[in-house]
Structure 1
Amino acid sequence: MTNLVEVRNLKIEATTDAGRVVEIIKGVSLDIADGEIIALIGESGSGKTTVALSLMGHARPGCRITSGAINVNGKDMAALSEKERAKLRGTDIAYVPQSAAASFNPASTIMEQVIEVTRIHRLMPPEQARKRAVELFRALSLPDPDGIGARYPHQVSGGQLQRLSAAMALIGDPKLVIFDEPTTALDVTTQIDVLKAFKSVMRAGGIAGVYVSHDLAVVAQIADRIVVLKGGEVQETGTTAQILSAAQHPYTRELLAAFEPKRRQAQAEASTNQLLRIDNVTAGYGAAREDGLPLIRAVNSVSLVVEKGRNLGVIGESGCGKSTLARVIAGIHPAAAGDIVFDGKELQRAAGNRSQDQLREMQIVFQYADTALNPAKPVEDIIARPLAFYHRLDKQARSKRVDELLDMVRLPKALRYRHPSELSGGQKQRVNFARALAANPKLIICDEITSALDTVVASAVIELLKELQRELGLSYIFISHDLSVVEAICDEIMVMYNGERVEQITPDKVKAATHPYSKLLFSSVPKLDPTWLDGLVRDPELVSQYGHR
């Protein structure tokens, strides 16, 4: 088997905003054979995407390839001119981005965008290109392959758009396709369909691939070999089976261990003290109807109970109403109907009508720390804000408490002077959490707080939450679409579908779920087993009724 790609001693430098030059890729070497799919895995900032993009001869703004050879199909991408590289992009080598939604032009039809590569490179006449596109739509298991090209990007689902992005990459018959975390933003039920489609098309065409991800279970389903990266260096390389069953490097073993966080110790006896109870809560968007309920119901007659010192997980696909429910409980999005009782007292539906103590005792930590933290303020000001607002502490007392809170979330005290842009994703989320703890709450609502973090960092955040709960007697509502995370920290799991609560079970009863949607959801979670996807058999009736193709 000959090598399609040979990378030798690749080095890439980046220039910081302060003008300092930092080597971010430090002598990486790797090979990819014809028709072989390799995965680049590692934590955020390990260099996965930077290495993958270098195969197209591309370096992101502020970065430059300083040395090394990047041979793709006999051509050194690093030595070619930009004009020569442009001729190879879309023909010899293609790219499938993480966010297909951000890559499509909303003003053009899908078909015009998919066949654009053939027009730019003059590969075939427009009519032939359209026929080829329909063949790819069919091969990628897209619904209505003959008609979907006439739609606009906003008229198809996220999973469909991701597969259409693959069709765009494949239409030029490339020899190598780079997949940059293409399923990260998808629900597990949609992710399975997309993975199956990618795998079958790549196999059928004998196309080589590079799959960038931090999700080992996804990688296990599609890759022949795995390259483990950390700090811009290769830590370990091996076949998928070797890496999963007999990893040699300590960092690889750490990645594997983080895939399934340790479960929280079950409570010896259930608390009988209700901290939160919501009854038949309905909320949504759009104009109110005659009955006072919103035109579009995002949350429909949902009831739940959270007991003191215990945790409730809320799980379901995107758009099922999880985050709206969190905002309703916090009073950010007032309910249209139903009751919310917190610590024995009925709450007003809107946060603005609640007492300061009620606001203090219930905090929410948002999914994206990037947008939740004020970029213009240093960390100490961000954490000190609730201390001044809720507790009226003076400057000296606030400063001391900020140090204590940073220590609580395992961050060095020196970080207090930094701005959010100077922190990693995991550090930002810990600051986000420290700010919630500053209020001294009884309940913290965690809205997808680990979804933007890589596996190792997410695992560390979960362990931190468990430790803080033991120390402070907190309760959590944990909203996620990641079942392993919810199982690791929650006493009860509530499944939502289409704005409604369809089932509530304990983590140890997941395999005995009774609702059809719960069964489909739990059976779609990838396993650390390379044969899992090929052997997966899902009930066609469940998929057609509850799956979003």
Structure 2
Amino acid sequence: MSNIVEIRNLRVKAKTDSGRVVEIIKGVDLEIAKGEVVALIGESGSGKTTIALTLLGHTRSGCSIASGSVTVDGRDTVAMSEAERRRFRGTTVAYVPQSAAAAFNPSKTIMDQVVEVARIHDLMPAAVARQKAVELFRALVLPDPETIGARYPHQVSGGQLQRLAAAMALIGDPQVMVFDEPTTALDVTTQIEVLRAFKAVLRDRGMAGIYVSHDLAVVAQIADRIVVLKDGEVQEVGTTEAVVNHPSHDYTRALISAFHPQAKSSPPSDAAAPAAPILQVKSLMAGYGAMGQDGLPKYVVLKDVDLTLERGRSLGIIGESGSGKSTLARAIAGLLPPAAGQIEMNGKALAGGVRQRSKEELRRLQIVFQLADTALNPNKPVGAILARPLFFYHAMRGAARAAEVDRLLDMVRLPKALKYRLPSELSGGQKQRVNFARALAAKPDLILCDEITSALDTVVAAAVLELLDELQRELGLTYMFISHDLSTVEAICDRVAVMYEGAKVEEMPTSRMKSGAEHPYSRLLISSVPQLDTGWLDGLDDDPLLRSAMADRRAAERWAVARRQRS
């Protein structure tokens, strides 16, 4: 089987903040055969995405290819002119980004952007491109495939937008696909469908792929071989089976050992004197669109949600993409005023909108957003981003504020030199840690964490979870932790609430999550968590319980679509 990708002695250099030129990719060799999927794994900053981007002849700002060759289908992307690269991208090689939110234009419809490659390269008539896009929407298990293209990016969930980015890449029928953390924003049930769709598309079209990920369980399902990277160098190469089950390098063994964070020990039982509630949510309803005569928005997302969170504890919110998890966080934070119900903090009712809340109420309740790309000001260096809440909430200035910025960076395991960099100069994991440090700057009582570890590799995510646990013990912090990663919820949370179609269907102690879930949807979620087993995904077809649950879920979705069309 001939190679469609050959990377030889690749060296990439970058300029540091002090102007010094350093080598960040150090003589990497890599081959990908036709129809083969090769995964690049390693911690944040190891060079995974940098190597993958060279297949498109591209490097991040401040970086350049110093030497070596990157041959794709017989053509060296390093030696191409920029005009040749533009013709090459989207047809020979295509890219699915880590953050779909940053890849879409908010002012254009989804359909116009998905078919743009076909229009730019004049691949097919517009009507044919639109029909092909609908077929891809259906293959990627997107809701309302016939009409979702008419929406704008902000009108779909993060997981749906990530799948739409995959459709955009696939429409040009490329020979090589570059997947850069494409399932990062997906819940576990959707992830199964998307991974199956990716495998089917690659297999049916004979496409090769390079798959960048920090999720070893996902890699185990889709990759034929794994390349382990650290500090821009290859540490280990082998078949997926060999690397997962018999790693030879110490660093690979460390990655695998960090795959499952240690489950949080149950808090001591104190039934006689339970901790006081810091947050109470009562009959909360929220949504989007114009308000109707019944006083409810056109699109109701949250439906009579009740929650109680005790001081110093952590509550996990799990559920599939579009279940209302992030909407719940936005409503509690005051970014989306509720249509009905009440939110109380420390026994006092909070105003629905953030503008009506006092500065002290804002300080006590902070939110860390899911998408660091859109949450951080791209024109401000990290130091200025962290300094702003220090001045706003604590009136800190001068040397005291500068010292606190350094302390915050140290708390989230980032070097102090990063305070001079812009967000675009950071990796995805680094941006997410800056996002969390900004919330800590307010010295809050309660932090709403919306998928804050989704962009982190397993080693860094395990360190951040350990940090969150340590800060909770030292500072008495309370967390509401929204995630589709059940192992993360298990590691940080005392209790977990399950959301489905805007309603809370079950709540239980985290220790009972895997063995004692009672609601059928809760059991479906938990059984959908990928395992570090190369045959796990293919073996799901032999699980009658899961197959039945997925069939019931699809039937419920078809009914919901029909109901929306009738209304």
TM-score, length of structure 2 as denominator length: 0.81
Q: Secondary structure, in 3 states, of the residue corresponding to 2:10?
A: strand
Are the equivalent residues in 1 in contact too, given 2:186–2:484 (CA < 8 A)?
A: no
CA positional deviation for 1:169 = 4.0
* 1:515 correspondence with 2:519: yes
> How many angstroms does 1:379 deviate by?
5.6
Contact 2:220 2:534 in 1 (8 A): yes
CA distance in 2, matches of 1:438, 1:131: 47
2:308 maps to 305
Would the alpha carbon gap of residues 179 and 416 (structure 1) be closer, same or farther in structure 2, given more than 3 Å must change? closer
Q: What is the identity, as a one-letter code, of the residue corresponding to 2:55?
A: L
Distance, in Å, in 2 between the alignment partners of 1:152 and 1:447 is 27
CA contact (8 A) 1:159 1:191 kept: no
Larger Rg: 1
Mapped partners of 1:262, 1:340: distance in 2: 32
| Aligned match of 1:533 | 537
Give 1:469 deviation, angstroms: 0.7
Change (3 A) 1:403 1:93: closer
Bigger Cα displacement from structure 2, 487-496 vs 252-261? 252-261
Matched, 1:542 2:546: no
Instruction: Map 1:55-70 onto structure 2 (within 5 A).
Output: 55-59=55-59, 63-70=63-70
Q: What amino acid sits opposite 2:552 in the alignment?
A: L
Match in the other structure for 1:180: 180
Which moved further from structure 2: 125-134 or 288-297? 125-134
Q: Deviation digits for residues 311-349 of structure 1, max 9, x if unmatched?
A: 101122333222222232233333232222322333333
CA 1:266–1:211 in structure 2 vs 1: closer, same or farther (change >3 Å)?
A: same
1:282 touches 1:300 (CA, 8 Å); kept in 2? Answer: yes
The one-letter code sitting in structure 2 at the alignment partner of 1:496 is M
- Deviation string for 1:389-442 (max 9, x for gaps)? 545667676566556555544555666676656665555544444443444432
Structure 1 pair 417–294 and aligned structure 2 pair: CA distance change class (3 A): same
How many Å separate the matches in 2 of 1:160 and 1:414? 35
> Which shows bigger deviation, 21-30 or 421-430?
421-430
Residue of structure 1 equivalent to 2:323: 320
Report if the CA contact (8 A) 2:134-2:146 is conserved. Answer: no
- Cα offset for 1:26? 1.4
The 8 Å contact of residues 189 and 524 in structure 1, kept in 2 or not, is answered as: yes
Instruction: State how far apart, in whole Å, the 1-side matches of 2:454 and 2:464 are.
Output: 11
Distance 1:54 1:153, change over 3 A: farther
In 2, Cα distance between the equivalents of 1:55 and 1:24?
Answer: 17
Residue in structure 1 matching 2:280, options 274, 277, 285: 277
Separation in structure 2 between the aligned mates of residue 459 and residue 343 of structure 1, nearest angstrom: 31
1:447 corresponds to 2:450: yes
Contact 1:142 1:163 in 2 (8 A): no
Hey, what does 1:502 align to over in structure 2? 505
- My pick for the range that moved more, 529-538 or 72-81, is 72-81
3-state SS of paired residue (1:277): strand
Is the contact made by 1:38 and 1:211 (CA closer than 8 Å) also made in structure 2?
yes
Amino acid at match of 2:53: L
What does residue 230 of structure 1 align with? 230
For residues 113 and 442 of structure 2, the distance between their equivalents in structure 1, rounded to whole angstroms, comes to 49
What is the Cα deviation at residue 533 of structure 1? 0.7
Is this contact kept in 1: 2:141–2:194, CA < 8 A?
A: no
- 1:19–1:543 CA distance, 2 compared to 1 (3 A): same
Structure 2 unmatched ranges of 5 or more = 542-546, 562-567
- Equivalent positions of 1:278-357 (< 5 A) are 278-357=281-360
Q: What percent of counterpart residues are identical? A: 57
Deviates more, 1:343-352 or 1:99-108: 99-108
Contact 1:115–1:129 (8 Å) recurs in 2: no
TM-score normalised over the length of structure 1: 0.83
Farther off after superposition, 193-202 or 417-426: 417-426
State how 1:68-467 maps to structure 2 within 5 Å: 68-79=68-79, 93-98=93-98, 102=103, 106=109, 119-120=122-123, 140=139, 158=161, 161-162=164-165, 164-165=167-168, 167-170=170-173, 174=175, 176-270=176-270, 271-369=274-372, 371-373=374-376, 382-383=385-386, 385-386=388-389, 389-391=392-394, 405=408, 408-410=411-413, 425-467=428-470
Partner amino acid, structure 1, of 2:534: P
User: Relative to 1, partners in 2 of residues 1:372 and 1:91: Cα closer, same or farther, differing over 3 Å?
Assistant: closer
The 5-angstrom pairing of residues 467-482 of structure 1 reads: 467-482=470-485
Letter in structure 2 aligned against 1:43: E
- Matches of residues 36-55 of structure 1 in structure 2 within 5 Å? 36-55=36-55
User: Aligned letter for 2:250?
Assistant: P
Cα gap change, 1:143 to 1:328, in 2 (>3 Å) = closer
Equivalent-residue separation in structure 1 for 2:49 and 2:278 (angstroms): 44
- Residue 516 of structure 1 contacts residue 542 of structure 1 at CA under 8 Å; is this kept in 2? no
Gaps of 5+ in 1: none
Per-residue deviation, 1:181: 3.0
What is the letter of the counterpart of residue 343 of structure 2? I
Kept in 1: contact 2:44–2:429 (CA 8 A): no
Shift of 1:529: 0.9
CA contact (8 A) 1:48 1:229 kept: yes
Quote how far apart the aligned CAs of 1:205 are. 4.1
| Residues 66-105 of structure 1: per-residue CA shift (max 9 Å, x gap) | 3223344455444456666667656654544556784697
The CA distance in 2 between the partners of 1:284 and 1:234, in whole Å, is: 48
